[in-house]
Chain A
Amino acid sequence: MKLQFKKGSAKSAVVAFLAVIFGLLAGALLIAVTGSDPFTGYAYLFKGGLMSTERIGDTLATSTPLILSGLSVAFAFKTGLFNIGASGQMLMGGFCATAVGLTLPLPFIILLPLEILAAIMGGAIWAVVPGFMKARFNVHEVVSTIMMNWISYWIIYYAVPAYFKGQFLETESRAIPDAASMKVNWLTHLFDGSFVNLGLFLAIAAVMIIAFILNRTVMGYELKAVGYNRFAAEYAGINVNRNIVLSMMIAGALAGLGGATMYIGNASNIQIGILPSQGFDGIAVALLGANSPLGSMFAALFFGLLYSGKGFMNAMIQIPPEIADTIIATIIYFAATSVLIERLVNMLRFRKRGQ
Chain B
Amino acid sequence: MWTILVQIFPYAIAFTIPLLITALGGLFSERSGVVNIGLEGLMVVGSFGGALAIAKLQPVFPNGAVWIGIVVAMLTGIVFSLLHAFASINLNANQVISGTAINMLAGALTVFLARNITGSGNIRIGSGLPRIDIPILSSIPIVGKLFFTQTYASTWLVLVILAISWYVLYKTAFGLRLRACGEHPHAADSAGVNVFWVRYIAVMLSGAFAGLGGVVILITYSGEFTGSVSGLGFLALAALIFGQWKPLGILGATFFFGFASTIANVSQVMPALASIPSVILKVFPYVVTLIALIVFSKSSQAPRAAGEPFEHGKR
Contacts and interface: CB of A to CB of B under 8 A. Distances in A.
A82 B83 CA distance: 21
Interface string A131-154: 001000111101110111111001
A30 B104 CA distance: 16
A328 B105 CA distance: 8
B117 to A, nearest CB: 9
Contacts of A128: none
Given A82-B96, A147-B238, A336-B93, A139 B294 contact: yes
A287 interface: yes
B190 to A, nearest CB: 25
A326 B101 CA distance: 10
Interface in A235-273: none
A151 B104 contact: no
Contact of B289 (A137, A147, A280, A329): A147
A329 B297 contact: no
B161 interface: no
A144 to B, nearest CB: 6
Contacts of A283: 97, 100
Interface stretch (A8-16, A111-119, A207-215, A317-325): A317-325
Main SS at interface, chain B: helix
Contacts of B293: 133, 137, 139-140, 143-144
A34 interface: yes
Interface in B69-96: 83, 86-87, 91-94, 96
A151 B121 CA distance: 28
Main SS at interface, chain A: helix
Contact of B100 (A129, A143, A149, A332): A332
B108 A326 contact: yes
A196 interface: no
A337 B87 contact: yes
A330 interface: yes
A333 interface: yes
A84 interface: yes
A310 B174 CA distance: 48
Interface string A92-107: 0000000000000000
Given A146-B237, A322-B121, A339-B93, A328 B108 contact: yes
A340 interface: yes
Interface in A259-300: 275, 280, 283-284, 287
Nearest to B237: A143
A144 B290 contact: yes
Contact of B294 (A137, A328, A336): A137
Contacts of B241: 140, 143
Interface residues of A, number: 46
Contact of A138 (B91, B289, B297): B297
Interface in A41-89: 82, 84
B286 A142 contact: no
Contacts of A139: 290, 293-294, 297
Contacts of A150: 231, 283, 286
Nearest to B278: A158
A239 to B, nearest CB: 20
Contacts of B113: 34
B110 to A, nearest CB: 9
Which of A82, A146, A280 has the most chain B CB atoms inside 10 A of its CB?
A146
Interface residues of B, number: 45
B277 interface: yes
A329 B109 contact: yes
Interface in B262-291: 277-279, 282-283, 286-287, 289-290
A157 interface: yes
A283 B105 CA distance: 13
Which of B109, B231, B241, B287 has the most chain A CB atoms inside 10 A of its CB?
B109
Interface string A325-352: 1101110110111111000000000000
A30 to B, nearest CB: 7
Contacts of A137: 293-294, 297-298
A133 B294 contact: yes
A155 interface: yes
Given A154-B286, A280-B104, 12 more contacts: A34-B113, A139-B294, A140-B241, A146-B231, A147-B290, A155-B279, A275-B231, A325-B108, A326-B105, A326-B108, A329-B104, A339-B93
Interface of A: 30, 34, 82, 84, 129, 133, 137-140, 142-144, 146-151, 154-155, 157-159, 275, 280, 283-284, 287, 320, 322-326, 328-330, 332-333, 335-340
Interface of B: 37, 83, 86-87, 91-94, 96-98, 100-105, 107-109, 111-113, 115-116, 121, 231, 234, 237-238, 241, 277-279, 282-283, 286-287, 289-290, 293-294, 297-298, 300
Which 3 pairs between the two chains have the least Cβ-Cβ distance?
Answer: A325-B108, A329-B105, A329-B104
